[in-house]
Amino acid sequence: MTKKIIFFNRLAVLITLSIFGNTLFAQNDFAFKLVKPNSNEQVINITDKLSVEITFNAQAVNEIGAYIATVVDSKIVRFLAATTMESPFTNNITAAHLGKGKHIVEYMLLPSGSKDQTEALSKIAIDLEIKGGSFKTDVDIESFTQDIVETIRKNDVEAFMSYCIDKNVMDGITNSIKGDSPKEKGVKGELSSMNTENMRREMTANFSKLQKALLEKSADSSTTKFMGFLNKDINLQMAEFSAMDINFGIDVGGNTFTISVNAFITKDKAYLFDYEFHAGLL
């Protein structure tokens, strides 16, 4: 979005004159419609995700530079804006992120530059009830991450490997899935197909590559500092465990790196199943 569009007269939101003639876009012309789910009232389990699909008149939306905001319980949590918006809009609602109880999830078509929900050009509301017990863990994600940073600081590959998943742990996680729903069967099959030896080998190799990269930059690993999280996302939520995507930054003698890990979080411990690094902060 350009500054010109952002500060455009709000009147253009409801009535847009195209440069090729008097083309009017009224509120109904946005054709903002819910396709999935097929009802505005939904009940799902805490371990589930709800797929959302919304179609709209892309020409009318792009003409005024509008964008789509996701609003959960009256708070904007996400927005989609692009030079050219394409229909359909899709989104996944992760029940575990919201927690048990009743929620209202709204998708609002807002004017360019506006965060005022009362100015929505069109909106769709989903009344969502989330049932079931949420997965609970004693694992402190920040402490776990700090432990990983400490292995980098000490260049201790043996300690690092103690945080990497092995076959026994993977079998335990797989066998902990007791249900037989399509989702549970699918997750169980995917976990069973994972080769933990290859995963451990690749993670060890990437740990060594990071240490080599530090040497090439004449950076002393003992000066490694944790810079904070870039993101922490739950990719999979089951009753027995969760899977997280964690990205965090480190500084080593003025050189910054992004460490990207995937981890299984059980009730009492976290295990790495992927580990990569990138120069700079992503």
Write the secondary structure of 236-266 as one string of H (helix), E (strand) and C (coil): EECCCCEEEEEEEEEEECCEEEEEEEEEEEC
For residue 30, how many C-alpha atoms fall within 13 Å in the half-sphere facing its CB? 28
Q: With bands split at pLDDT 50, 70 and 90, how would you rate the model's confidence at 135?
A: low
Residue 268 and residue 137 in contact, taking contact as beta carbons nearer than 8 Å: yes
Backbone angles phi, psi at 220, to 5 degrees: -85, 115
Identical fold for domains 3-131 and 141-279, yes or no, is: no
The alpha-carbon radius of gyration of the chain (Å, integer) is 23
Enumerate the domain spans of the chain: 3-131, 141-279
Residue range 182-200, pLDDT digits in tens:
888 899 999 999 999 999 9
Distance CA 133, CA 99 (A): 9
CA max distance for the chain: 71
- CA neighbor of 34 nearest in space, from 8, 19, 55: 55
Residue range 67-76, pLDDT digits in tens:
999 999 999 9
What is the per-residue pLDDT for 163? 97
How remote is the C-alpha of 104 from its chain's centroid?
20
Q: In this model, does residue 239 exceed pLDDT 50?
A: yes
Distance CA 113, CA 176 (A): 48
Distance CA 163, CA 169 (A): 11
Question: If you average pLDDT over residues 247-261, what whole number do you get?
Answer: 96
Residue 176 and residue 240 in contact, taking contact as beta carbons nearer than 8 Å: yes
Domain 141-279 adopts which CATH fold?
Answer: Nuclear Transport Factor 2; Chain: A, (3.10.450)
CATH value of 3-131 in 2.60.40.1180, 2.60.40.10, 3.40.605.10, 3.40.50.300: 2.60.40.10
pTM over 0.85: no
- CA neighbor of 10 nearest in space, from 147, 120, 164: 120
Other CB atoms closer than 10 Å to residue 220's CB: what's the count?
12
Q: In this model, does residue 19 exceed pLDDT 60?
A: no
Distance CA 65, CA 110 (A): 9
Place of tokens 């933990």: 196
Q: Which of 94-103, 119-128, 132-141 has the lowest mean pLDDT?
A: 132-141
CA separation, residue 172 to residues 11, 46, 239 (Å): 60, 22, 14
By three-state DSSP, how is residue 43 classified? strand
How remote is the C-alpha of 208 from its chain's centroid?
28
